Structures are given as structure tokens and as C-alpha cells.
Amino acid sequence: MTVLQRPVGRDGPRVRRLPRRGATIAALVIDPPEQNAAVAEKSAVPFPILSDPDGEGAIKPCDVWDAAGQVATPAIIALAPDGHEVYRYAGVDFMDRPNDDEIVEALSSLGLPATETPAGTIAHLDPRPGSRATKPERLAVSMRGVRFASMALADRARDPFDKAEAERTSRMAERYVAAQGATLRLVHRAAT
């Protein structure tokens, strides 16, 4: 079982749940390896982050390429050992992520034996953060702002679809904040 996903700092808590359901995790992104190393270091990512800068290696073949933005669409794809897809979530924008329970349910239905739980951060190249890199401490502050702004928009929305999307965005931001706190605790523990 392989799970491909775009990593963000909130992934730390998820990492512990997926190997128990037979998943091996790898992130696939367009960023260069040095930036991936910086993400791995600041977020205590215990799985490999693979670079596919033009999307030709796997991102486009998996149909998660945003041609207009020339970036990968945030997506999570779970493949069974025989290669067939058992779960797919493609976000509508950079922040859109599924609830972890959806992924866990899809993996649990396969009844695979547990895989080894990652013990710590996997060694990468020398880290070199990109120019757009967000400091972990600032991500939670930003997501709190997103959460409260989307709550206000939900209250103002008259269209049921717009209200539901604003409420969904608020819940996503809340999950980001909670997971970012867990990630920062992991990073702090790893540093001490």
C-alpha cells in the first residue's frame, strides 16, 4: 500500500495511524529536493518526500496536475499492493484536504497487515527552504485567521452551497491548527 500526498506540517499525527492499516507513505511534490529536505526538517516528516518538478514522473500520470497553475493539485491517492486505486481525494485548492477518517476507513477495508511505523525523520539532503516557505509557528496563526474568517463568511452566506463550503473550510483550518500543534510538539521532542 502506498499513499501519495502533498505534505504539510499537519501530517505528523496521520503518519502514526496509517502504517497500522498497512500503508507506506511517500509524498510527491514539484519542489526541488533541497526544499523538500527543509520541509522534512521543520515538520519532522518521517517519510520520503519525492520531487517531480515537471509532474511527468507521477503527478500527471496520476491526473493530479493543475495545468493552469503548473503545480500539483493537493491530492491523496492510496494504491493497493496490486496497484489498483482504493482511495482518491483531489482538493479544489491549495488548502483543501480530506478528513483523516476517510483515508483510514479506505485503508482499513483492505485488511492489510500493519507496516513498520516510522521511528523518526528520514534523512534528506541539506535543507534549503524555498522563498515561499512558511515558518511552522506562523502556519497556525494563519490557519486561525482562515478559520475565523470562514466562520464569518458561513454566517453571512445565503446560498446553501457557499455556506457549506465556508463551514468545510473552517473545519479544515481547525484540523490544520490542531495538527500543527502536534507537529510542533514532535519537532520539539526530536530536538531535545
Q: pLDDT (tens digit, 9 = 90+) per residue, 149-175?
A: 898 988 999 999 999 989 988 888 888
pTM to 2 decimals?
Answer: 0.62
* Residue 94: strand, helix, or coil: coil
DSSP state of 168: H
Element holding 4 (H helix, E strand): strand 2-5
* Residue 72: strand, helix, or coil: strand
What is the structure's pLDDT at 106?
Answer: 81
Confidence grade of residue 74 (pLDDT, cut at 50, 70, 90):
confident
Distance (Å, whole) CA 135 – CA 6: 17
What is the structure's pLDDT at 8?
Answer: 39
Q: What is the mean pLDDT of residues 6-13?
A: 43
What is the structure's pLDDT at 5?
Answer: 38
Quote the cell numbers at residue 152: 464569518
Distance (Å, whole) CA 64 – CA 84: 16
Element holding 24 (H helix, E strand): strand 24-29
Confidence grade of residue 16 (pLDDT, cut at 50, 70, 90):
low
What is the structure's pLDDT at 34?
Answer: 83
What is the structure's pLDDT at 36?
Answer: 79
Task: Determine contact, residues 21/161, Cβ cutoff 8 Å.
Answer: no
Q: Which of 38-52, 66-80, 126-140 has the highest mean pLDDT?
A: 66-80
Confidence grade of residue 4 (pLDDT, cut at 50, 70, 90):
very low
Cα dihedral sign, 7-11-16-22:
negative
* Residue 19: strand, helix, or coil: helix
Q: What is the mean pLDDT of residues 11-16?
A: 54
* Residue 11: strand, helix, or coil: helix
Confidence grade of residue 100 (pLDDT, cut at 50, 70, 90):
confident
Distance (Å, whole) CA 45 – CA 111: 26
Percent of the chain with pLDDT over 70: 74
Element holding 167 (H helix, E strand): helix 160-191
Task: Determine contact, residues 125/102, Cβ cutoff 8 Å.
Answer: no
For the beta carbon of residue 39, count every other beta carbon within 10 angstroms.
Answer: 22
Distance (Å, whole) CA 146 – CA 168: 11
Distance (Å, whole) CA 1 – CA 104: 12
